[in-house]
Structure 1
Amino acid sequence: MNDASLQDAAAPEGVCYGCGPSNSHGLHIKSYWHEDGVHVMAEHLPDAKYSGWPELVYGGLIAMLVDCHSNWTAMAYHYRAEGREVGSLPRIDCVTGNLGIKFIKPTPMGVPLTLRAKVEGEVGRKSRIVCEVYAGDVLTAIGDSVFVRVDTAQLTADAHGRDA
């Protein structure tokens, strides 16, 4: 098994604030297949500057963690569905189609967060990802989101109104 994170294996040049290895100001979230072969896992210890209320994690940070980690879960499942190693070419990319977060309990600062995600249903152009967020052993939030497989060159060209 490769010890590199999904992000480092597939997109070492990535600039996403949450998970891009090359963003010098980013959080550098790292996602890995769990030994159960079903879940994709990540851990993060929020810095105090991401407080929402005193001693509580800002909900927007939780949403970002769920967004980035769920996206990498979708991409990992796509690679596996095609029988390919993460990072093999052509690269697989997904974007957020719908991000849903249910906050269950306040998330305390100073406690490592564990994200545990998997695809619910079929892996397709649009895939549903459920991502649980734990502070220690306590479930504090659940993401239920849809990620869409895309051609990023075309996506960027469309966003800027030019041909790919």
Structure 2
Amino acid sequence: MSEKYLQELADPDGVCYGCGHAHPTGLHVSSRWDADGVHVLCEHEPAATFTGWPGLVYGGLIAMLVDCHSNWTAMAYHYRAEGREAGTLPRIDCVTGELSVRYLKPTPMGVPLLLRARVEGPVARKSRVVCEVYAGETLTAVGDSVFVRVDTTRLAASAHAAPADERSTG
């Protein structure tokens, strides 16, 4: 198992605010396989700028951490299902299809967070990821989301294409 994080291996030039290691001011979410071979882990200590209520982590940050880390969990499972290391070609990419976060308890500031995620069910074009968020020993939130394997070149082209009724015919 590599010492590097999945993001460093598979997308060293990534610019996502949450998980892009090349983003100059981003969160630099870093995901790695747990020794148990089932879970993908991420540790993060929120900066003071992510305070919601006094002394508590802003819920939107928790959602962002769950989103980025769960996406990388889905991709890690896809690489493993194909018997490959993260970062080998062809590249594997997933996007968020559904994102759900249940906030179970307030998440305190000043406490390192541990995100512990796994794919539930089959690793397929659409994969379900469950992500637990711990502040110390306390489970504070659970993400239950779906990630879709995509070809990002085609995805970007379709996102930037004008709808048929808005295209110029001239």
Moved over 2 A (4+): none
2:51 and 2:154 map into 1 onto residues whose CA distance is 37
2:49 maps to amino acid: K
Once the two structures are superposed, residues 111-144 of structure 1 have per-residue CA deviations (whole angstroms, 9 ceiling, x without a partner) of 0000000000000000000000000000000000
TM-score, length of structure 2 as denominator length: 0.94
Once the two structures are superposed, residues 11-70 of structure 1 have per-residue CA deviations (whole angstroms, 9 ceiling, x without a partner) of 001000000011001010100000000000000000011011000000000000000000
Name 2:95's counterpart in structure 1. 95
1:20 corresponds to 2:51: no
The alpha carbon displacement at 1:158 in A equals 0.4
Identity fraction in percent: 70
1:2 corresponds to 2:2: yes
1:42 and 1:91 map into 2 onto residues whose CA distance is 22
1:55 corresponds to 2:55: yes
Once the two structures are superposed, residues 78-125 of structure 1 have per-residue CA deviations (whole angstroms, 9 ceiling, x without a partner) of 000000111000000000000000000000000000000000000000
1:33 and 1:18 map into 2 onto residues whose CA distance is 19
What is the RMSD of the two structures over their aligned residues, measured on CA atoms? Answer: 0.7
TM-score, length of structure 1 as denominator length: 0.98
Count of aligned positions: 162
1:11 corresponds to 2:15: no
